[in-house]
Amino acid sequence: MKKALLAAALMTAGVVAHAQSSVTLYGRLDAGLEYMSGVPEGKNANGQATGSTNRFRAESGDWGTSLWGMKGVEDIGGGTKVLFQLEGSFNTMTGAGPGGGGLFNRWATVGLSNDAYGTFTMGRMLYISNGVWDFDPFGQSNWSSASLVRGRNWPQSSNNFAYQSPKIAGFDFYGQYALSNATNWNGNGTTPQGREAGAQVTYTNSLFQVRGIYDEIRNPGNGMLYGANVPITDPANTNNIATGVFAASREYSALVNVFLGQFKIQGAYQAIRSAGATGALPGTPTTLDHEWGGVTWQATPAAALIAAVYHVNGNNGAGNATIYTIGGSYNLSKRTLLDIQLATARNSKTANFGLNADNAGTATATDNPLQGHQQSGVYAGIQHSF
C-alpha cells in the first residue's frame, strides 16, 4: 500500500512540474530575390574597386534575419520564474550558419523574472543598440537604420548582464553591462570583445512612445572608444574589417513613435562619437550624426505600406549620404508574409555608403559603391515564422 501511495505521489509531482515548466521551439525563414546596381568590381594595385556593375541574386535575411531557437520558463514559486533562450542565425538559401559567435550566435541567456521586480539575464544577447528596432520604419531590415552606420546598430554582445524593469506609469528601464574578460577591464587585445555597456529609458502611452538610449562599445585591442584605423598599407580595406567610429564609440539615441489610427510616424536622431582617435586617414570619420524619419500606413489588417528616409553626416572628410526607400508587406496568414522594398543610396563627393551595412572601404569585398556614386536596389521575398 505504501509503495502504491509513493508511486502516485511521484506521478503527481511529475505532472505539477510539467505544468509549471515549458519549452518553446521557434524560428523564422526569410528568402527572396534581390537586384542591386552600383556594386563594385575590379581592383587596382591598392585593392580599390575600379568600376561598378549590377547584380541579381537570391537572398536570405533582407526583410529579417533567418533564425531558429528555443526558449523556456520554469515557475519556481513566489512569483519568480527561471528563463532561458538559445537562438542562432542561418542562411535560408544555402542552409549555412550560424554567423560569428557559435551555434547560438544571437542569444544564449539564462536568468530570473519576477512581475514585481523585473527580469535579470546573463549570457550572449543582442546588444542594447538594437533597441532602435522598435522605432525604425523598416524594423532594422537589411536596408535601413544599420546601413549608414555600417552595422553599428545591430551587433551581438557576449559576457553580458542585463536588467529589464517592470513598466511603471508608462515608463520602463533596460540596461546591459558586458565584461571584456581581459586582465584590463576595458580590453587589452587578449579577448575578442572589449567592455560594452548601455542603458535605455522608454515611455509609452496610447498616442506616442519615446525612448532614449546611451551605449558604448570599447575596442577589444586597447579598451579605447575608437576602433582600429584602416591600415595605411590597406587603404581600401581589402580585409573587410570594422574600423573607426563604426567599430568602437559612444552612441546617444533619441527616438519617437506616434500612433495615429492606421498610421505610425517614426523618427530618430543618433550622435555617434569616438574618443582617443589618432592617425585617422582622411575620409575616416570620428563622429557621425545619423537621423531618420518615416511612416507606416496599415492600409488593411493584412497590408502595410512604408516610406522612410535615412541620413548620415561624418566629419574628417567622410561626407554624407541619404537612403530613400519605400516598401511594404502583405500577410498571407498570421505566420507568413510577402515583402518588397525599393531603395537608393545617394552619396556626397567623398562618401561611399551603400544599401547594405558594409564595413568602410573601397574594396570589392566591402560591397560599397565607388566614392561619390549611388547605389540602388529592389528585393522581394517571403517570410515565414513558426
pLDDT at 3: 47
Q: How far is CA 318 from CA 132, 206, 249, 254, in A?
A: 24, 40, 16, 23
Residue 115 has pLDDT above 70, yes or no: yes
User: pLDDT digit string (tens) for 331-345?
Assistant: 999 999 999 999 999
In the block, residue with C-alpha cell 527572396: 32
What does pTM read for this prediction? 0.92
Q: Which residue ranges form the domains of the chain, and what is each CATH number?
A: 25-385 (2.40.160.10)
Give the DSSP per-residue string, 62-102: SSS--EEEEEEEEEEETTEEEEEEEEEE--TTT-----TTS
User: pLDDT digit string (tens) for 29-40?
Assistant: 999 999 999 999
Q: State in Å, rounded, how far the first CA of the chain is from the last one.
A: 47
pLDDT at 280: 62
Residue 79 has pLDDT above 80, yes or no: yes
Is the backbone peptide bond immediately before 98 cis, with ω within 30 degrees of 0?
Answer: yes
User: pLDDT digit string (tens) for 162-201?
Assistant: 999 999 999 999 999 999 999 999 999 999 999 999 999 9
Q: Which amino acid is at 236?
A: A
Q: How far apart are CA 222 and CA 215, in angstroms?
A: 18
Confidence band, pLDDT 50/70/90 cuts, at residue 228? confident
Helix (H, G, I), strand (E, B) or coil at 368: coil
Q: How far apart are CA 265 and CA 258, in angstroms?
A: 5
What is the average pLDDT score of the chain?
92
